[in-house]
Amino acid sequence: MTFLDKLENSWKSSKSLVCVGLDPDRSRIPEHLSKDADVIFSFNKAIIDATADLACAFKPQFAYYAGQNALGSLRKTITYLRQSYPDIPVILDVKRGDIGPTATMYAREAFDIYKADAVTVNPYMGGDTLRPFLEDASQGVFVLCRTSNPGSVDFQDLRVQGDGRRLFEIVAHKAASEWNHNRNVALVAGATFPEDLGCIRSIVGDMPLLVPGVGAQGGEVAAVLRQGLDSRKEGLIINSSRGILYAGRGTDFASRAREATILLRDEINSLR
């Protein structure tokens, strides 16, 4: 089964476009977990168990594990997901992008070491740097296109001389054509620029779009759905991290996370 097959099945079975971002911050994890041997994994496991039936995907952000010397917790988290919830796709958010042999090692890291179903990559250094990630048609590759941060306008909005299109539009065109020979490419398109999200959708058709920026970053669900849904009223993986993970800070944190996920799922479904 390819990543796209798995994602489409998950959209249907969960009746959800919500992706739960697993970005654990030790300083925000409830105190009653502090004595656990692996605090981060214990926190993640509780969040996963509370939200698995409501999520179309889970997205661990690599930096939250590397920056806390917790890469073992990341591997345990993904192993737990694959063993306990094998039908839910795991997107490893690493935003890698480097030349040939180095990119090959990064691809091995994501797919062979951590066993992710899909990975995020940065296209800034060109299409050859994406090739090692794209070789296996069963694995998904989310290319950064229009990111949710304010500073994205510094480069992504620039019009290319002699072409006239903005840089993110060129990325979308390449993703939908020359990079997508294995039909395993998807894009990252932020909720904070909904009109640009609509532009991307018009370029790539029904390609999946991973959408960060809803909630804490100010992206609005209604605008995302209006601009980003595909022809089947699907096509979006709407990520929420902090809004779900830290909906509660006490012993009921997992049930509060579930409530927050239900609210987001129901808001999305009421508008599509």
**Catalytic center residues:** 95
Phi, psi of 153 (to 5 degrees): -65, -20
Give, in order, the Cα–Cα distances in Å from 4 to each of 19, 101, 140, 235. Answer: 15, 26, 7, 10
Radius of gyration of the chain measured on its C-alpha atoms? 18
Q: What does the alpha-carbon distance between residue 101 and residue 87 come to, in Å, rounded to a whole number?
A: 32
Q: What does the alpha-carbon distance between residue 76 and residue 260 come to, in Å, rounded to a whole number?
A: 25
Q: What is the DSSP string of 225-244?
A: HHHH--TTS--EEEEESHHH
Q: What does the alpha-carbon distance between residue 234 and residue 253 come to, in Å, rounded to a whole number?
A: 29
Cα-Cα-Cα-Cα torsion 54, 60, 65, 66, nearest 10 degrees, comes to 180
> Partners of 142 in the beta sheet?
120, 186
| Amino acid in position 123 | P
